[in-house]
Amino acid sequence: MSNKVIGTSVPRWDAWSKVCGKADYTADIPVKNMLYGKIVRATIAHGRVLSLDTQAALAVPGVLKVLTPADLPRVKHATAGHPYTLDRSGDVYDKNILTEDVRLYGDEIAAVIAETQLAADIAAQKITAVYEEYPIYLTAQEAMTEGAREIHEGTKGNILADTTAKVGNVEEGFALADYVFEDEHRTQVVQHCHMENQTATAFQSADGRWTCISSTQIPHICRRILGEALDMPWSSFRVIKPFIGGGFGNKQDVTIEPLVVAMSIAMGGRPVRLELEREEVLAYTRVRHAIHYRSKVGVSKDGKITAWQVDAVSKTGGYASHGHSVAAKGGGILCTLYEIPHMSFRSRTVLTNTGNAGAMRGYGVPQITFAIEAMTDKICKELQLDPFEFRLANFKKEGAPHPLNGIPMVTNKVADCLTLGRQRFGWDAKMADSGAKGGSVRRGVGVAAFSYATGVYPYSLEIAGCRLTLNQDGTVKMLVGATEIGQGIDTGLAQIAAETLGIPAEMVYAEETTDTDIAPFDTGAYASRQIYVTGVAVAKAAEELKDKICRAAGKFYEIPHSAADVEDAFVINSVTGERVASLGDLALRTYYDKARAQTLTAEVSHNCHDNSYPMGVTFAEVDVDTQTGVVTVRSILNAHDSGVIINPLLAKGQVEGGMGMAISYALGEDLFYDPKTGEPLNNNLLDYKMPTCMDTPELDCMFVEPEDPFGPFGAKGLGEPPICSPAAAIRNAVCHALGFEINALPLTPGKVFAAIQNNRGGGADV
């Protein structure tokens, strides 16, 4: 059957409720007898709380309780929303819900519970702490210095992880090189800035267990971490995710849920809401890792890469979170973008007394892509090689195995993205138009490619579930444990169900809430995994339901079940093509036929043992004003191979959103800390330069669509890929305009102007 639903821009089912203000997010859900929480945060970046004075806080009218570390379980938990590992080796268990050991400015040292938010806020400000202060380390270099105090006892040199991924023998590779290039690249700390701040409400349910309504990307993982953090059986908790106002990886960490449940427990089960303020979210939830790369690349006379060595130092902040896996991901990216016979990729992840870095859209790949493609640009410039020919000659070939895990990259159309994108962008004309543009403006063009992965197999568990129920009228209710966080996954999954079942997409009802008591098990929204992993679960469940429908048709109608099929919501005879009955007629009989009624459901748990590799390229054209250092993006195109596109309109939305985020990553966003105290300096949306629509240029995107054999209907992941390569392409365009390199992000007017003055790049230590 030809696709009727896949590849069409089915409107997202929840759009109407969102434009009407009907969609309920966590803070919109009314709960009786609610209490309000507020976190008391450390006002130093490194030290120990010797005493807390809570008297004045307790005297504030409406304040009911102040929680301190002594009131909570002393067990440590890992906040990263990774799949669990049976030997608990996957994560670092380093976090107490509240702590006396302060590891970053704003660390959580106490919490107030009050009858009103105002009372809680006022009381929190009245709590004072006496500290023993330790030296603070705001950069990885400082934290790794000989004799530096361990931020977490037992973490030698404050190095959380030190791993090296190898292909071949890098020294042999350099021996084969005719040219060797070396450079350093640095990226900055940025924040997700999802529009909905982290919010959670907890209460004791009628069955005595604990319900937590939360804006989490990972409800099922959140439930497990609640159990670990509170030292209670995992089934004591029920996590419910309603509509979410964005996450981008920040809500893939469990940051507030254990505390809000602890608050409700402390209040005998009364509901408590904890809603972070924007300033808390920016500074005290999670940020993107700043990474410092030292790269060395060997190239032969015929323009082939012979060796590539990277030494990455990643700043992870006060706790492990995802830190140990983010920087290391770069090795797999490097050797799947280019064919590198000899590679060594060392990554050290270092604890510092700064904002806690975790998962953020792209998971270390925007950083490593910046370093890789800046090196590629350097090689092409210095050897006077065509940047397209060099890339095409060195790209990893389609079908080649992933050098680190052996999985074949069956579809890989990065070369098509490069050549077709070049045409669509009008590269050659734009290149001809570059250079001095009169006055102080110089124009340049840049290109950068990236490689990504879909999901976390083979490194971690990949599991997803789906339950489909045939309703009385032939419509289908779909329940998944996957998490809709704004990307539109529910709509895409409904399209997969509809296509498989032979019904229109609007006959599949998705569900805005993911409830761990009800939704099938699925690890949630991260790693661009859901269309690929959950999508297969949905397709399998739909196949099973369709088989049951055909068998029921054999029971109710004059047709052998082997001849029955479903098309356009009718049961048909697939041999004659005749319509036998409407699906609604059949469905009604499955509920109410006195003798033979048996309702139809299908439930599938899918353990995914595949990975497929989304690839792509960004093209950028910029103007640089050499008198002010201001960079203006004139045009930008992302070309993506994410396999078959399930929903073009939603896919375009994902790509443009990622590009918008990436452009300000390239040009403006940067989270600063006071060098003396470690206090965040710009943790608000006025001083932190999240882009407005005046800062974001017109965006263009295109798709090359190979049919991937593993993803449902040929799809690969798309959520994170769009943010991977724009910053590198913009940087290359700026360097082209200026004629010299700048090797640190972001390319703010101040940095670009200084570089023009000095005619060189550089930046501060990360």
Partner 1 sequence: MRKLINIEVNGKAREVAVDVRASLLEVLRGELELTGSKKGCGVGECGACTVLMDGVAVNSCISLAVWADGRKVTTIEGVSPEPGKLSDVQQSFVDSGAVQCGFCTPGLVMAATALLGEQPSPSREEIRRGLSGNLCRCTGYSTIIDAVENVAKTRGQA
Please give the residue ranges that form the binding site for partner 1 (CB under 8 A). 9, 11-12, 14-25, 27-28, 30, 118, 192-197, 243-246, 248, 277-278, 485-488, 649-650, 652-653, 656-661, 684-686, 690, 692-694, 696, 698-699
- Residue 288 CB, nearest approach to partner 1 (Å): 14
- Residue 692 CB, nearest approach to partner 1 (Å): 5
Q: Is 71 exposed, middle or buried (0-12, 13-18, 19+ CB in 10 A)?
A: middle
Residue 184 is which amino acid?
Answer: E
Q: How many angstroms separate the CA atoms of 161 and 151, rounded?
A: 14
- Residue 668 CB, nearest approach to partner 1 (Å): 14
Nearer to partner 1, 34 or 56 (CB): 34
- Residue 122 CB, nearest approach to partner 1 (Å): 11
Which neighbouring-strand residues pair with 346? 164, 311
Nearer to partner 1, 404 or 448 (CB): 448
577 CB contacts (<8 Å, ≥6 apart)?
none
Q: Please name the residue that has the structure tokens 């992941």.
A: 717
Q: How many angstroms separate the CA atoms of 539 and 166, rounded?
A: 37
Instruction: Report DSSP state, residue 448.
Output: E
- Residue 9 CB, nearest approach to partner 1 (Å): 7
Q: How many angstroms separate the CA atoms of 523 and 217, rounded?
A: 9
- Residue 246 CB, nearest approach to partner 1 (Å): 4
Nearer to partner 1, 115 or 416 (CB): 115
Q: Is 268 exposed, middle or buried (0-12, 13-18, 19+ CB in 10 A)?
A: exposed
Nearer to partner 1, 24 or 115 (CB): 24
Q: Please name the residue that has the structure tokens 């006071």.
A: 674
- Residue 15 CB, nearest approach to partner 1 (Å): 4
Nearer to partner 1, 16 or 93 (CB): 16
- Show the 3-state SS of 167-205: ECCHHHHHHCCCEEEEEEEECCCCCCCCCCCCEEEEEEC
Nearer to partner 1, 191 or 316 (CB): 191
Distances (CA, A) of 401 to 103, 310, 337, 407: 42, 21, 12, 5
* Cβ pair 495, 505 in contact under 8 A: yes
- Residue 248 CB, nearest approach to partner 1 (Å): 7
- Residue 365 CB, nearest approach to partner 1 (Å): 18
- Residue 660 CB, nearest approach to partner 1 (Å): 3
Nearer to partner 1, 94 or 623 (CB): 623
Nearer to partner 1, 489 or 583 (CB): 489
- Residue 669 CB, nearest approach to partner 1 (Å): 11
Instruction: Indicate the helix (H) or strand (E) that contains 752.
Output: helix 749-758
449 CB contacts (<8 Å, ≥6 apart)?
337, 373, 391, 395, 414, 417, 418, 615, 616, 617, 618, 725
- Residue 739 CB, nearest approach to partner 1 (Å): 30
Q: How many angstroms separate the CA atoms of 291 and 724, rounded?
A: 15
Nearer to partner 1, 30 or 147 (CB): 30
Nearer to partner 1, 12 or 606 (CB): 12
34 CB contacts (<8 Å, ≥6 apart)?
201, 271, 272, 273
Nearer to partner 1, 99 or 638 (CB): 638
Nearer to partner 1, 61 or 399 (CB): 61
Q: How many angstroms separate the CA atoms of 556 and 94, rounded?
A: 60
- Residue 590 CB, nearest approach to partner 1 (Å): 31
* Cβ pair 170, 164 in contact under 8 A: no
Nearer to partner 1, 17 or 145 (CB): 17
Nearer to partner 1, 631 or 701 (CB): 701
Tell me how many degrees the CA angle 383-377-702 measures, rounded to the nearest 5.
130
Q: How many angstroms separate the CA atoms of 190 and 316, rounded?
A: 12
Nearer to partner 1, 655 or 752 (CB): 655
Distances (CA, A) of 70 to 54, 108, 111, 153: 13, 13, 12, 20
Q: Is 695 exposed, middle or buried (0-12, 13-18, 19+ CB in 10 A)?
A: middle
Helix/strand/coil percentages in the chain, nearest 5: 30, 25, 45
- Residue 688 CB, nearest approach to partner 1 (Å): 9
* Cβ pair 352, 158 in contact under 8 A: yes
Identify which of 251, 254, 225, 252 has the alpha carbon closest to the alpha carbon of residue 237: 225
- Residue 240 CB, nearest approach to partner 1 (Å): 17
Helices (H), 460-529: 489-501
Nearer to partner 1, 365 or 650 (CB): 650
Q: How many angstroms separate the CA atoms of 423 and 419, rounded?
A: 7
- Residue 286 CB, nearest approach to partner 1 (Å): 15
* Cβ pair 339, 122 in contact under 8 A: no
Q: How many angstroms separate the CA atoms of 276 and 258, rounded?
A: 14
